[in-house]
Amino acid sequence: MRPDGEGEGLRHIHQPIRHDAADRHVTGSAPYIDDIREPEGTLHVVPGGAPVAHGRLVRLDLAAVRAVPGVVAVLTAADIPAVNDVSPVAGDDPLFAVDTIAFHGQPLFAVVAESRDTARRAVRLAVIAVAEEPPLVDVADALAADADLMPAYAFRRGDPEAVLAASPAPVAGTLRIGGQEHFYLEGQAALVIPEEDGTYLIHSSTQHPSEVQHVVARVLGITDAAIEVAVRRMGGGFGGKESQASGWAAMAALAARVTGRPAKIRLDRDDDFIMTGKRHDFLVSYRAAHDPGGRVEAVEVRFAGRCGYSHDLSSSINDRTMFHADNAYFYPQVHIHSRRLKTHTVSNTAFRGFGGPQGMVFAEHLMDRIAWATGRDPLDVRYANLYGTDERNITPYGMVVEDNVAEALMRQLEATSDYRARRAATAAFNAGSRVLKKGIALTPVKFGISFTTTFLNQAGALVHVYQDGSIHLNHGGTEMGQGLFVKVAQVVAEEFGVALDRVRITATHTGKVPNTSPTAASSGTDMNGMAAKAAAAEIKGRIAEFIARDWQVPVASIAFRDDRVWSGERSLSFAEVVKKAYLARTHLSAAGFYATPKITWDRPKATGRPFFYFAYGASCSEVTIDTLTGEFTVDRVDILHDAGRSLNPAIDIGQIEGGFVQGMGWLTMEELVFDAKGRLRTHAPSTYKIPTARDVPEDFRVAFFDNPNREDTIYRSKAIGEPPLMLANSVFCAIADAVHALAPGRAVALDAPATPEAILFACSKQTGEG
Amino acid sequence: MTTTRPIRFLHRGTLVEAAGFAPMTTVLDWLRLDRRLTGTKEGCGEGDCGACTVALGRVKDGRLVYEPANACILLLGQLDGAELVTVEDLAADGQLHPVQQALVDHHGSQCGFCTPGFVMSLFTLYHDAGGARDRAAVLSRLAGNLCRCTGYRPIVDAALAACAAPPADGHHDRRTASAAILAGLADTADVCVGDENAFFAAPASLDALAALMESHPDATLVGGATDVGLWITKQLRTLPKLVHTGRVAALRAIEQTATALTIGAAVTYAEAETALGALDPDIALLIDRLGSAQVRAAGTIGGNVANGSPIGDMPPLLIALGATVTLRCGGSVRLLPLEHFFLAYGRQDRAPGEILTHVTVPRPEAGDHLRVFKIAKRHDQDISAVMMALKVRLDGRRIAAARTAFGGMAGIPKRATAVEQALAGVCVDDTGAIAAAVARLRDDFAPLDDHRASAAYRLRVAGNLITKGLMEIAAGERSSTRLVPLREAHHAA
């Protein structure tokens, strides 16, 4: 018997239903922003960026740009009617830089032309003079200059310094963790259509339509109500279109305002790389004390995160790094310190996991360090440090871990992946192999679900039932490929007891559901599913009341199933009942609302319950490295993941596999290289390599851990968007394990990403050659 | 120039005659902006993501063959004589194509933006019934299609499912008629669109090509446009005069003798794969990793050599094999050892108007051992950080002669002559002597730091590659040192 008592007799929920737009994806008939048929006279906007990373703008001569035939307008800050700021929070992201240049590629102007090609070519004719100043490029530069963008922050419990001072053999070290470009396949794009009386309709590829609305209103000096933002789908988001879609929509809106014509912006891929933020990279330094069995006694860890030139969402992102510096492990005495550093590089932003992955990579590295020091199997060190269920269950930020299933999940994966035998086989292989070495690692994931900015944990939905019994579904969540729309449609179809195709999925639209939160923090289904269920339930209740009156039966006897409405044996088709209800003047539209319960967070005191619940998972990866070149292959991956009771197993498997591969790319081949002048040198897929099909092991075994959510979430499911990314930590740890085999007992000096170069040099250090 | 005939190609069952287009027009822009067919997406504009993949049908060896192409860097003029198939053309009578249906059934799309490109790459594999259509073939075919959502597993599963049966779709049913139409387009007329000052030309004969280049030495020669396409889409260069080599029959042939291969400059990687790959499994692997299926179907051996890149994958291999190139200017022809063609970074021994027509590759002889290694951050479709080719002639256990060339180590593809000299006469089992020889790399190269690798790594790994190659040659096997098992070259058909 399941604790939730749910799941029986459900028609759509827990079913592997395909993505609602799958047929349109494969035929090319699913429109993205650039595919929307342009209104007659649409102009094209292309930004012009700063040629250096830091300095004072001395001259911006755009005469040659304006003179190009086909150029209709050239926009600068002087054209902005209201506020020159497109930031999400802090007021420090100018749409166009005016005096100070803060990063290479920072927009200084934009060309508005009859064709995109004309605009792109015209941009290059600008004459830009800058009094250049030396840039702070990386974390080390910023640390040396004490360039803190915002105050440092810390979690503390006990007196770890004292424990460390008394420890006979603490481990200590540093770890670099690289950033990551989102590489959503559809770049940043927006189409702005001016409508009557100074209002605008904006089609934007954004995870946060309400913020596009706010930002455009702020820049143009008009009200939120004068702007409608619509998003049918994105060609990928991954966090990169949470805060950083707004500026491009604002640029196109300004073009529409200045010219009175529709205006479209679609960033060239290189511009997208150069001008939009990425996952934060970190320098982590740590000390930890442990007992002879490898159990942690105290941890002191300092995270130095590169925020870039402005705040963006960096405060919350770096907080989440701290929230996840424990991953699934209990640190009895702990000091987690975080500095948020300013550099003259693009402002780093949300990216799947939102800072959490970096904290967790540290935690896994720490477990390996202790294993190497103690000689124990890294998996046993991990077991020794897991949170308990009744004790050892309080996080460094004072939240009790109530739903811990990490050990049971890991033990199950240990068995199904045959970890112990493969650990032995790996050792045997390594004993007989000179050039190639194998490594294996099994690592857990524990990821906190909820926005840690508490007010964002709210969602709305709008459901209409039309007279023919068809249903219009709208909610505040956006579809970026993650399958949110089909999941919420499943919920609504289930509620009404109708076939899924009766529910029409519609574009997210600020005119239908207002004041939306971004589709982020893995919260989309949890929140929008609940809001839509509430809306559907309200309409269903009204219909039930009506038909009970009509049939003169108790309301409690009314049931909705199989596309019919029932009372006992009596039934009528859903469409007929709806028609009757309409004629009897029943309100067939409802707005639903949901606010996540239980969560509290007192940031100044660093205590509370920032997360509604945790999602868990574990993965076991086996790799082989070439010790002469540093190349590696992933030979097998086993994943066991906690999706609660999966609302849609097909969609959730897709999130698990896709998240894992994206995380694997981050930790192995995706390398952002900035030169000494602060220019990004890897600004296109020719130089920035994300995984291809061949990088995914043929032996890739993914399963769900059966674990209905103990919290009252939508059909006891769990959030799935972000947690699987961190399953890739086992790949990084397995590579380190392979390097370790060269000289067991010595700490492996491997940073992320583990490129061939990083692996080869780690091998050299391991054997003492380098 | 005498005006000849316009571009002709088959699209959606109709013969398209294009005369009034700008020479630099890409197929992607023509589809999206001119024809408003927006199923084909632009993901990167440089041929690296595959979202814009279309299929090109051509008659090869009497058979209609579909190959994938990146429409973003494919010039409209290059379509001459081909059938263009896009994602809009596959579903028929309300029925999804088997490839499309398999992707739907296996949950192979999430955001969907890359999906049309995957569909088209798989469409070409689906029709490649003469070739292998196993997992290795699927991975090879999909190397140029990036997906950021799915993790690829469901796409690979869909590909295997769709390709489990022989092709049975409208394109297969029409193949004889389509081939006949395309055969009818394959005339010997010189193609040119434009005027004296701006044109896209595709001469049909080597004489016409040579004459055209002699009269327009400022024109840009275009092989597959896998590089020139980026000059247009990324560097925004203005290239008013484009001369495409793809219709010159004499440049499209591979001539094989007992001692050498002579490869026409316009032969694509895909076309050369079988002949070159037969020389050594390492060469087959290198070509399988070179670019992507899209790039290999368009890019040419001649283009890879002639553009002078220090990081092209073919030149180090060809130099190690002792290749020579044939150059023609007007009516005069000269031969040059390939290693002397590369003068300095960005500079080659090629006069304005001169055409690289052939590359002649001596076959390795008995006693020759070859090793070819490519180092990059990613196995597929990545530019080499370091590329090494090593040819060793053994006399018993003694190295009689060694010839090794590198890419990524200097401004040009270059031999490591100091290492070669130091290796001569060394016993292949003498690890000390080999280490001493490898240390001479510092006399040969002073590589640069860049975004692909540091100078220190380049030097270290270059030495290790020589060591590894000789270790394998000494052991007489290369299985215990390879992450990726070698296999027979994957033959296209």
Q: Which residues of B touch A433 (CB under 8 A)?
A: 480
Q: What percent of chain B has pLDDT over 90?
A: 94
| Position B493 pLDDT exceeds 50 | no
**Rounded to an integer, what distance in angstroms lies between the CA atom of residue B226 and that of residue B215?**
25
Q: How far apart are CA A490 and CA B320, in angstroms?
A: 62
E runs forming strands in A343-484: 436-449, 458-465, 471-475
pLDDT at B193: 95
Distance from CA of B132 to the nearest CA of A (A): 17
Instruction: Kindly list the residues from chain B whose CB atom is less than 8 angstroms away from the CB atom of residue A631.
Output: 375, 483
Domain boundaries, chain A: 22-29+458-595, 399-453+603-770
What does the block give as tokens for B350? 């090629």
**Is residue B488 domain-resident?**
no
Calculate what percentage of chain B has a pLDDT beyond 70: 98
Catalytic residue among A391, A722, A757, A769: A722
What span, in angstroms and rounded, lies between the C-alpha atoms of A299 and A56? Answer: 43
Q: What is the mean pLDDT of residues B151-159?
A: 98
CA distances from A749 to A172, A174, A629, A746 (A): 12, 9, 16, 9
Q: What is the DSSP letter of B71?
A: G
Mean pLDDT on B21-33? 97
* Residue A433 near chain B (CB below 8 Å): yes
A378-385 vs A356-374: helix axis angle to the nearest 10? 120
CA distance B145 to B116: 10
Distance CA A721, CA B6 (A): 52
Which ranges of A85-152 would DSSP assign to H, the alpha helix?
116-123, 139-144
B163 shares a domain with B16: yes
- What letter does residue A240 receive in the DSSP assignment? T
Nearest alpha-carbon partner for B161 in B183, B194, B133? B133
d(CA A350, CA A314): 8
Evaluate whether B143 touches B269 at the Cβ level (below 8 Å): no
Q: How far is CA B252 from the centre of its chain?
A: 14
Nearest to B483 among A631, A651, A659 (CB): A631
Interchain contact, A696 vs B383, CB within 8 Å: no
Give the DSSP H or E segment for A296: strand A296-308
Taking an 8 Å cut-off on Cβ atoms, the answer to whether B107 and A18 are in contact is yes
Looking at the domain assignment, is residue B320 inside a domain? yes
A593 CB burial (10 A radius; 0-12, 13-18, 19+): middle
Distance CA(B227)–CA(B239), nearest Å, equals 13
CB contact under 8 A, B481 and A685: no
Per-residue pLDDT, A9: 85
Amino acid at position A672, single letter: L
Residue B481, domain member (yes or no): no
Which CATH number does the domain housing residue B39 bear? 3.10.20.30
Q: Cis bond leading into B364, ω under 30°? A: no
Whether B493 is covered by a domain: the verdict is no
The whole-angstrom distance between residue B384's C-alpha and the CA centroid of its chain comes to 14
The dihedral sign for the CA sequence B315, B318, B319, B323: negative
When divided into structural domains, chain B yields a total of 4
pLDDT higher than 50, residue B489:
no
Q: Where are the alpha helices (DSSP H) in A433-523?
A: 484-496
Give residue A3's pLDDT: 41
What ipTM was predicted for this assembly? 0.98
Q: Are residues B28 and B62 in the same domain?
A: yes
Q: Is A722 assigned a catalytic role?
A: yes
Q: Is the pLDDT of residue A10 over 90?
A: yes
Angle at A553 between CA A548 and CA A558, to 5 degrees: 60
Q: For residue B289, which residues of chain A lie inside 8 Å, CB to CB?
A: none
Asked whether the beta carbons of B407 and B316 are under 8 A apart, the reply is yes
Q: What per-residue confidence (pLDDT) applies to B491?
A: 35
Domain boundary among B202, B218, B244: B244
**Cβ burial, residue B288 (10 Å; 0-12/13-18/19+):** buried
Euclidean distance between CA atoms A155 and A139, whole angstroms: 21
Which distant-in-sequence residues (6+ apart) come within 8 Å of B400 by Cβ? B367, B393, B394, B424, B425
**Given this chain, do its domains A22-29+458-595 and A399-453+603-770 carry the same CATH topology?**
yes
Cβ pair A650:B483 closer than 8 A:
no
Residue type at A155?
F
Res B131: pLDDT? 84
Q: Which of A233, A633, A658 sits opposite B150 (nearest CB)?
A: A658
In this structure, are B57 and B111 located in the same domain?
Answer: yes
Q: Quote the tokens at residue A650.
A: 């097909």
Element (H, E) at A657: helix A649-668
Q: Which amino acid is at A191?
A: L
- DSSP 3-state of B472: helix
B113/A235 CB distance under 8 A = yes
| pLDDT digit string, tens, across residues A457-481 | 999 999 999 999 999 999 999 999 9
pLDDT averaged over chain A? 97
User: Does residue A505 carry a pLDDT above 80?
Assistant: yes
Rounded to an integer, the average pLDDT of A700-711 is: 98
What sign does the CA torsion over A515, A518, A523, A529 have? positive
Contact A265, A45 (CB under 8 A): yes
- Is B224 found in the same domain as B308? no
pLDDT, tens digit, 9 for 90 and up, residues A97-153: 999 999 999 999 999 999 999 999 999 999 999 999 999 999 999 999 999 999 999
- For range A236-261, the mean pLDDT: 98
The Cα angle at residue B437 between residues B432 and B441, in degrees rounded to 5 = 135
Residue B146 lies in a domain: yes
Q: Is B121 left (phi over 0), alpha (psi -120 to 50) or beta?
A: alpha
pLDDT tens-digit readout, A292-324: 999 999 999 999 999 999 999 999 999 999 999
Query: Which residue in the set B105, B110, B378 is minimally distant from A482, CB to CB?
Result: B110
**Which residues of chain B are within 8 Å of residue A686 when distances are taken between CB atoms?**
44, 46, 48, 383
Q: How many CB atoms lie within 10 A of CB B180?
A: 12
Q: Verify that B391 and B463 share a domain, yes or no.
A: yes
Q: Are B14 and B139 in the same domain?
A: yes
Q: Is residue B404 part of a domain?
A: yes
pLDDT in tens, B82-91: 999 999 999 9
Residue B330 C-alpha, separation from nearest chain A C-alpha, in angstroms: 35
Other Cβ atoms closer than 10 A to B257: 10
CB A532 within 8 A of CB A592: yes
Q: What is the pLDDT of residues B258-315, one digit of tens each?
A: 999 999 999 999 999 999 999 999 999 999 999 999 999 999 999 999 999 999 999 9
DSSP B125-152: HHT-TTS--SHHHHHHHTTT---SSS-S
Mapped onto helix, strand or coil, the DSSP state of residue A566 is strand
Chain A stretch 177-196, residues whose beta carbon is closer than 8 A to a beta carbon of chain B: 182-187
- B225 has pLDDT over 60: yes
b/e map A485-506, b = 16+ CB within 10 Å? bbbbbbbbbbbbbbebebbebb
Give CA–CA dist B491/B129, Å, rounded: 12
| Neighbour order of strands in the sheet with A503-505 | A503-505, A471-475, A458-465, A589-595
Same domain for B65 and B163, yes or no, is: yes
Q: Indicate if the pLDDT at residue A717 is higher than 70.
A: yes
Residues B115, B157 within the same domain: yes
- Domain A22-29+458-595 bears CATH identifier 3.30.420.40: no
Determine the straight-line distance between the first and last CA of chain B, rounded to whole angstroms: 39
Query: How many C-alpha atoms does A138 have within 13 Å on its Cβ side?
Result: 14
Average pLDDT over residues B217-246: 97
pLDDT in tens, A181-217: 999 999 999 999 999 999 999 999 999 999 999 999 9
Collapsing DSSP states into helix, strand and coil, what is residue A595?
A: strand
Lookup result for tokens 């300013």: A342
Measured between beta carbons, which residues in chain A are less than 8 angstroms from residue B122? Answer: none
Contact B190, B202 (CB under 8 A): yes
Map tokens 């001692």 to a residue: B259
Chain A residue with minimum CA distance to B51: A185
Q: Return d(Cα A679, Cα A275) in angstroms, integer.
A: 11
User: What's the CA gap between B139 and B146, in Å, rounded?
Assistant: 12
Residue A617 contacts B, CB cutoff 8 Å? no
Query: pTM of the prediction?
Result: 0.98
Whether the per-residue pLDDT at A427 is higher than 50: the answer is yes
3-state class of B492 per DSSP?
coil
pLDDT of residue B488 exceeding 60, the answer is: no
Give kind and range of the element (H or E) at residue B262.
strand B260-264
What pLDDT score was predicted for residue A8?
A: 63
Q: Which of B42, B44, B96 sits opposite A23 (nearest CB)?
A: B96
Q: Is residue B435 part of a domain?
A: yes
Q: Are residues B144 and B271 in the same domain?
A: no
Q: Name the minimum distance, in Å, from the CA of A506 to any CA of chain B.
A: 16
Separation in Å, CA A495 to CA A184, A558, A589: 34, 13, 14
Dig out the tokens for A536 from the structure: 């559907």
CA distance B213 to chain A (A): 28
Distance CA B50, CA B40 (A): 10
Strand bridging mode B342-344 / B386-395: unpaired
> Residue B165: is it exposed, middle or buried by C-beta count within 10 angstroms (0-12/13-18/19+)?
exposed
- Please state whether beta strands B324-329 and B332-337 pair in parallel, antiparallel, or not at all (unpaired): antiparallel
- Tokens 């076959």 sit on residue: B363
Is B327 a residue whose pLDDT tops 60? yes
Q: How far is A78 from chain B (nearest CA, A)?
A: 28
| Per-residue pLDDT, B487 | 63
Which residue range forms the structural domain that includes residue B169?
8-185
**What's the number of CA atoms in the CB half-sphere (13 Å) around residue B128?**
26
Classify residue B173: in a domain, yes or no: yes
Q: Are residues B153 and B45 in the same domain?
A: yes
Handedness of CA B474, B476, B479, B483 (dihedral sign): positive
Query: Which residue among A184, A650, A695 sits closest to B107, beta carbon to beta carbon?
Result: A650
Which pLDDT belongs to residue B1?
45
Q: Could you tell me if A304 and A138 are in contact, meaning their C-beta atoms sit under 8 angstroms apart?
A: no
Query: What mean pLDDT is predicted for residues A667-683?
Result: 98
The SS3 call for residue A236 is coil
DSSP code for A77: G
Is the pLDDT at A7 greater than 90? The verdict is: no
Residues B33 and B144 in one domain: yes
Distances (CA, A) of A159 to A155, A164, A496: 12, 9, 56
Q: Which runs of E-coded beta strand occur in A649-726? A: 699-704
- Is the CATH code 3.40.50.920 the one for domain A399-453+603-770? no
